[in-house]
């Protein structure tokens, strides 16, 4: 299996990232899509890339600007991102977010335009955070039809899901399925089918419902197999095979 969204260099994972990678491997994980969300976090991820790959050889490495942490200086940071495009596998975690927690939306749109233009030019996939902004993101999907990737932790409508998948995007699903209010998401997943989804922990930040520890861990990807397989009416073995194929397809 491949965890398609993990912040392995965020605390507390960063302090002992190699052990967390080894525990994930022992739980059946073959790779992490490692994301970085601010300019300051890029270098630590790149510095430890070879160590992560030695343990989890299907890992991939993504740099980008998260919509919660943008400033006017981020625009110049896009120039630094371009310098690293040959060293990375994709852009992420990037995105659009209209909640109060996020940065100015006009700035988000400008940064996103720059990032997707880079993705198109260098043929790189994107891992995209989209909250209350699917209209804007789908506009970018139409503008940059060659760009592919994952809509991380998808929580939009059935109509929006179809528009993404019709354009070659995958939908990310993780511990959100454990919420008591997740029946709408379960129905959407069953309607869309397993071919359109990838599996993710978003560790250490997102945790299963009722889990009281301070963080989640990439090894916990295995905890999602049985409940997700049930949603798609697949055996756990068939689900793991399908979900791994879907993650690999992002780079084909």
Res 76 pLDDT > 90:
no
Residues 86-116 pLDDT 10s = 999 999 999 999 999 999 999 999 999 999 9
Sequence-distant (≥ 6) Cβ neighbours of residue 98 within 8 angstroms: 105, 131, 132, 133
Average pLDDT, the chain: 96
pLDDT at 206: 96
Q: Which domains does the chain have, with CATH numbers?
A: 2-249 (3.20.20.140)
Mean pLDDT confidence for 126-152: 98
High-pLDDT (> 70) share of the chain, %: 100
**End-to-end C-alpha distance for the chain, whole angstroms:** 17
Residues 217, 240: Cα–Cα separation, whole Å:
18
pLDDT of residue 244: 98
User: To 10 degrees, what angle do helices 158-166 and 134-143 make?
Assistant: 20
Q: What is the pLDDT of residue 231?
A: 97
What confidence score (pLDDT) does residue 69 get? 93
Question: pLDDT at residue 77 above 90?
Answer: no
pLDDT higher than threshold 90 for residue 204: yes
Structure confidence by residue, pLDDT tens digits, 162-197: 999 999 999 999 999 999 999 999 999 999 999 999
Give the phi and the psi of residue 3 in degrees, each rounded to 5.
-80, 110
pLDDT tens digits, residue range 221-251?
Answer: 999 999 999 999 999 999 999 999 999 999 9
pLDDT at residue 73 above 90? no
pTM score, two decimals? 0.96
Q: Which residue is it, tokens 């073995």?
A: 237
12-55: per-residue pLDDT in tens? 999 999 999 999 999 999 999 999 998 888 999 999 999 999 99
Can you tell me the distance from the alpha carbon of 29 to that of 16, in angstroms, rounded to the nearest whole number? 17
């Amino acid at each position: 299996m491949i965890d398609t969204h993990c912040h392995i260099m965020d605390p507390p994972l960063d302090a002992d990232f190699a052990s967390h990678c080894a525990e994930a491997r022992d739980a059946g994980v073959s790779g992490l899509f490692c994301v970085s969300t601010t300019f300051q976090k890029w270098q630590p991820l790149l510095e430890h890339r070879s160590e992560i790959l030695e343990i989890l050889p299907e890992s991939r490495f993504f740099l980008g600007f998260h919509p919660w942490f943008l400033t006017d200086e981020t625009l110049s940071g896009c120039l630094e991102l371009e310098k690293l495009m040959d060293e990375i596998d994709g852009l992420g975690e990037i995105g659009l977010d209209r909640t109060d927690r996020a940065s100015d939306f006009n700035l988000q749109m400008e940064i996103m335009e720059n990032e997707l233009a880079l993705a198109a030019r260098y043929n790189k996939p994107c891992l995209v955070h989209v909250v209350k902004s699917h209209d804007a993101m789908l506009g970018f999907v139409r503008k940059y039809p060659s760009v592919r990737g994952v809509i991380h932790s998808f929580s939009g409508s059935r109509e929006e899901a179809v528009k993404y998948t019709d354009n070659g995007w995958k939908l990310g699903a993780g511990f959100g399925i454990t919420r008591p209010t997740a029946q709408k998401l379960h129905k959407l997943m069953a309607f869309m089918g397993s071919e359109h989804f990838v599996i993710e922990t978003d560790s250490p930040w997102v945790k299963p419902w009722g889990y009281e520890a301070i963080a989640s861990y990439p090894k916990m990807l295995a905890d999602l197999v049985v409940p997700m397989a049930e949603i798609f009416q697949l055996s756990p073995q068939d689900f793991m095979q399908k979900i791994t194929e879907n993650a690999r397809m992002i780079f084909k």
